[in-house]
Amino acid sequence: MSSEKATFGAGCFWGVEAAFRRIKGVSNTAVGYAGGHLENPSYEAVCTDRTGHAEVVQVEYDPAQVSYEQLLNVFWENHNPTQVNRQGPDVGTQYRTVIFYHSPEQKAAAEASKAQLESSGRYSRPIATAIEPAPQFYRAEEYHQQYLEKRGLASCHL
């Protein structure tokens, strides 16, 4: 099995991780932090809204079983991409909507997907999702990994 990585920020990482874990072809997920300036950030540091990091899910997947475009669809369906630095009651830059691409092909697919969503008329406000090169990923503390699954919950508040 070949494996590729995809990294998405779509608000609180607990529910986002749970959504990706259900996808056939996803072999692993990890929640963490990316896109900021502090090395090895903690959850507490990220929550200060001063590190620049987003809460993200890093997805390992088999492209023979699930396409990056399918993962993008999961991303779009599991948050409101028009909200800037928030999702639902969660507010701060760590909750921003962002796609961190790992290859030129992922960048092109993400841009095309975003453009298609923008032209669909589904939202009355512009899509706020940033598309950026994948920076260093910092795995979150163990108690955040598969948080909802460990507690017998299916989803977050979204």
CA–CA gap between residue 66 and residue 85 (Å, rounded): 29
What residues act catalytically? 12
Residue ranges in the chain assigned as alpha helix (H): 13-21, 43-46, 68-77, 104-119, 147-150
Instruction: Map tokens 């996803």 to a residue.
Output: 26
Are 77 and 20 in contact, with CB atoms under 8 Å apart? no
Amino acid at 85: N
